[in-house]
Amino acid sequence: MFKPTIKSKCLKHLQGHRRRAIRHKEFFIFKCHLKCRTAPHFHCISCTSTFMRKDGFLKHLAMCENKKPKITVVELKSEENSPAPDLHLTASEEMPVSEGHKSLISEDPQKIRPTKANFEQRMCPKMAVSEETSSPGPTDSEQRSTGEGRIMQVRTDEPSKSPVDEGGPSVVNLSVVDHNVTETTASNSAANPHPIEADVAIQTLVNEMFTGHTPVENTIPQRSRSDAQDLCPFCGLMLHRKNLQVHLRRKHPDQVSNQEKPAPAQVKNPKQQRLPLRQQQKIAMESVIRDVFRHCIRFPVPISASVVADELVDTASDKRCITVLAKWSQCDLERGVKLRFSQRWTLLCKHDTIELVLPSGTSSHIEKELLSCQSPSGTLQAVIREEAGHQYLEVWGQNGLEKSLDLIALNKHGKVYEDAQFACLAWSPCEKKLLYVAEKKRVEPSAQSSIVSASEDGGLVLLEEQDKNVYVEDWGEGLVGKSCPVLCVADLNKAAVIVYAGVPPNISPGQALWGPNGRGIIFVGQWNEPFRLGLKFCSNRRSALFYLDMKGNCECLSPEGVSVSSPRMSPDSCWIVYLQGQVFGPHHQCLSMMLYDIKNRSTSVLVDVVRRAEKGQFAGIYESLHSQCWSADSERIFFSSACENNKAVFSVDRTTGRLTQVCGLDVLRLDDFGSVQLLTIQKDLMVMSCSSPNQPPCLRVGFLSTVDQAEDMQLCNLGGADVYEEFCWQPMLITPTSQEENHQFSGLNFGAILLKPYSPPERRKTPLVVNIHGGPHAHFAADWNATAAALTKLGFAVLMVNYRGSTGFGQDSIESLLGNVGSQDVKDVQRAVLCALQNETTLDPDRVAVMGGSHGGFLACHLVGQYPDFYRACAARNPVINAATLLGTSDIIDWRYSSVGLQYAFDRLPTSQSLASMLEKSPIIHAAQIRAPVLLMLGGRDRRVSPHQGLELYRALKSRNTPVRLLWYSDEGHSLSKVNTQSDCFLNIVLWFKEHLN
């Protein structure tokens, strides 16, 4: 509902109604927005006809203009006992206008009182329902006796109240029949003894989805048989029966053609071919939810950018023409896939100033591309592409495809790695060789007694027949089937591939790059002995920086007993920066930036670990460095990092170590963006992705300033979604109470981000959905989140909590969670919810739901168990339910010990005390107190959190008759990342919350 608070907006709103109105003779006919029809419509002043289309209404007025209108005056006062006015006017008399209301005329003054009662019954459902037991509404005959086609004017002494200011709809069961559902228990609404009230509540929910209003009670006016209406089974639109077939032919020809055409007898009796009303309404609601999610997930997200050309146009004026290539990822719900496409922009520059950005033109679809890399000169593009089970190395130039190698046919190695932990694709300085990482070749045993296979150093060894049954370890969740990576070099002149020997057998190489002058290879080596632990999302695995020369000599460049990642060489090939962290403990942590001097063979700390930061200041490095992060003069390194609830871009001076925030909310005015992500910096041209919770990502580009001053940097908009969604967001910084304080790490704050609609529909309070991230050492940045945006557009407020232990608040915050899972993080989320409810009076404390995945699901189940009367519904994706039983099935068993405050070692065995500690901190001990309905979504191939965790809670709730529903995705892993799975999860979550939040 429009709520005028500013006079100019109110007048603009009224002018919009006037433009859409129809001028008929001396008065205007405005569209009716009441519940007499499901969409805005016109009422004829001479008969009972209503019209949604303007042209049809004008034709009808022309036919009825000779008829004498029957006009009735109805005046409603706020006082219940005030007498009705004594009106004695005829149709020919004129009445003055008083208090801004136009008074109309009635032919028969005796019809005023019945008309008033009829008006209250039809147009004021709240009044009618509240007096339903004492005075029943008029019958059809009474309604017809009051006249037809009236124009009624309402006058009150006080502002009119919405019919939905009080009360709430009945609880209904909207369980969806889904092939992923294991079983559903009877919800609270199943015992509803009033099916008619339930039907009304379902209609209320459908009206909310289509109109944005949330009526509490609904009374359907009586209609004559000639005015009967039907609901369209495809779009949910309410139509006259005589117009239904025309609507189906015009709007849904494909759906109608796919179905069997009804017989003539069936057309005459539409009731025989209609679905049940409840099912039609559920289908209509599902359609709206899918449309909203499709709208929010369709926005492309930039994944990389590069400068592919830099040409001098005018030497005298130093004018240059620079080409920027950006690659995007976009979800296609119709096909259920993630598409990739590229865009090119041409920048006309002068003296490091962008003068003009030429339009990008049409985007190009990127098909089946695994990796790509631009050559140093910018004239060649290397691509590794997978098609029909084969992997090809392609080299593209100005004249098209110049070289193509079938890597599978060469039979030198297995599949090429494309993940973020091992993968690389790098040109040699001479642009004649390409470096990448692939799985070591493994020979399948044949019927012979023995065969040969490549050894660790590239030699040959004998494999006995029984070797086919030997267990082969991999690197866990997201890296299934990846066990023994090897360094591979493709010689383009010889069209051959060389697998480099010399890497120690207990080391798995990855993240490789060419050394100075291409005389060696620098890589990150992961220790794979005594056994492999999960590597994805884990920056605490023992690793080191190595240098391998062409003769096979391997040298370690970093200290022992640390974890390293992201080596990046400076443009002058004199320096290497990389990130370093501790082994074990938090599996994601604050990292230090190390500087390696290639000439002097020395290492120094460039950016140290931040224990805790001042408000709004740099809070540490938490993510990998971009492949192009150096300035052209090799003096500064640029990176993105989380900072409280935001993400900003920082730079560090190589010589002085001075740290500066380059792009962020407090430095550059980036249209109130909450997140700035660095994509590349080449030739001092920086490309960034900017977004916020209500603005999808777009690209900004600008040259670095000569001095590191943000105000000297000018940014230009390249492209992206130019959309501003109609909801608001705000960051929150929360301080724990004294009872919730961690005395070992006192004084720590945590954050949250609140998304909410601008105004709740019909002045009702907004239900709140608490969204909790997994990790637990992860982060909700104030960037575009399709799930949160879709929930907000559907009428929910969303609170995304960065509890203590999240990244972006310093290393002390991360370490404070060790040994306190299930208590400190649970209290932080509950404190954030209470603060949001206290500060925002538009939020409904009686309609709060919680959702989360992995550790977020762990916390969601804890919350509904520890606060059983507070939360009304719960949705958990692959939640940790019992840490003790998860110990032997997770790929990161070290975190099971660290989470409860115990030190981990490879040879550690569980004890009764450690298992008891894990159990005490698990949600399963609170299962008996859970009363909120729980929706579980599990991946059948989850290597990080076994799906049997969710099944354990499912059985516990089933045995206690607690409403629970389980969705099983047999081909999914931990992240449930497939497009169809994301869509199905979102649909079921919204339906679950709609059902149980009333």
Judge contact between 689 and 670, C-beta under 8 A: no
Average pLDDT over residues 433-462: 65
Cis preceding-peptide flag for 485 (omega within 30 of 0): no
Q: Helix axis angle, 979-996 relative to 277-297, nearest 10°?
A: 130
Q: Name the 3-class secondary structure at 662.
A: strand
List pLDDT tens digits, range 919-971: 999 999 999 999 999 999 999 999 999 999 999 999 999 999 999 999 999 99
Confidence (pLDDT) at 95: 38
* Tokens coding 315: 């030497």
Mean predicted lDDT score pLDDT of the chain: 80
* Tokens coding 332: 């296609």
Q: Which of 974, 975, 984, 996 is catalytic?
A: 974
Spatial separation of the C-alpha atoms in residues 720 and 299, rounded to whole Å: 8
Query: Is the pLDDT confidence value at 195 over 50?
Result: no
List pLDDT tens digits, range 883-925: 999 998 999 999 999 999 999 999 999 999 999 999 999 999 9
Whether 854 is catalytic is yes
Spatial separation of the C-alpha atoms in residues 587 and 126, rounded to whole Å: 56
pLDDT higher at 9 or 429: 429
What's phi and psi for 961, nearest 5 deg? 60, 30
Q: Residue 450 class from Cβ within 10 Å (0-12 exposed, 13-18 middle, 19+ buried)?
A: exposed
Whether 565 is catalytic is no
Spatial separation of the C-alpha atoms in residues 845 and 849, rounded to whole Å: 10
Element housing 910 (H / E): none
For the ranges 448-462, 712-726, 896-910, which has the lowest average pLDDT?
448-462
Q: Which of 854, 899, 946, 983 is catalytic?
A: 854
Tell me which residue of 33, 14, 116, 31 sits closest to 75, measured CA to CA: 116
List pLDDT tens digits, range 810-838: 999 999 999 999 999 999 999 999 999 99
Q: How many residues does the chain have?
A: 998
Judge contact between 516 and 596, C-beta under 8 A: no
Judge contact between 407 and 413, C-beta under 8 A: yes
* Tokens coding 947: 């799906």
* Tokens coding 239: 């139509």
Spatial separation of the C-alpha atoms in residues 964 and 931, rounded to whole Å: 10
Q: Using only C-alpha atoms, what is the Rg of the chain?
A: 34
* Residue 608: partners with Cβ closer than 8 Å, 6 or more residues away: 592
Q: Residue 243 class from Cβ within 10 Å (0-12 exposed, 13-18 middle, 19+ buried)?
A: middle
For the ranges 191-205, 368-382, 480-494, 682-696, which has the lowest average pLDDT?
191-205
* Tokens coding 855: 């550790």
Q: What is the dihedral of CA 19, 24, 27, 33, to 10 degrees?
A: -50
* Residue 314: partners with Cβ closer than 8 Å, 6 or more residues away: none
What's phi and psi for 206, nearest 5 deg? -65, -40
Tell me which residue of 55, 148, 66, 59 sits closest to 107, measured CA to CA: 148
Judge contact between 60 and 50, C-beta under 8 A: no
Q: What is the DSSP string of 62-126?
A: HHHTTSPP--------SSTTPPPP-----TT-----BTTB-----S-GGGHHHHHHHHHHHH-HH
Judge contact between 480 and 439, C-beta under 8 A: no
Q: Which of 428, 942, 946, 984 is catalytic?
A: 942
Average pLDDT over residues 66-93: 41
List pLDDT tens digits, range 365-379: 998 999 999 999 889
CA separation, residue 669 to residues 130, 715, 724, 903 (Å): 54, 10, 16, 46
Tell me which residue of 792, 764, 768, 789 sits closest to 849, measured CA to CA: 768
pLDDT higher at 750 or 227: 750
List pLDDT tens digits, range 22-50: 877 767 788 888 877 777 888 887 787 88
Q: Residue 106 class from Cβ within 10 Å (0-12 exposed, 13-18 middle, 19+ buried)?
A: buried
Q: Residue 564 class from Cβ within 10 Å (0-12 exposed, 13-18 middle, 19+ buried)?
A: buried
Query: Is the pLDDT confidence value at 456 over 80?
Result: no
List pLDDT tens digits, range 209-242: 444 444 333 333 343 444 456 667 666 566 776 6
Spatial separation of the C-alpha atoms in residues 768 and 760, rounded to whole Å: 12
* Tokens coding 674: 């909450």
Q: Position 867: which residue type?
A: Y
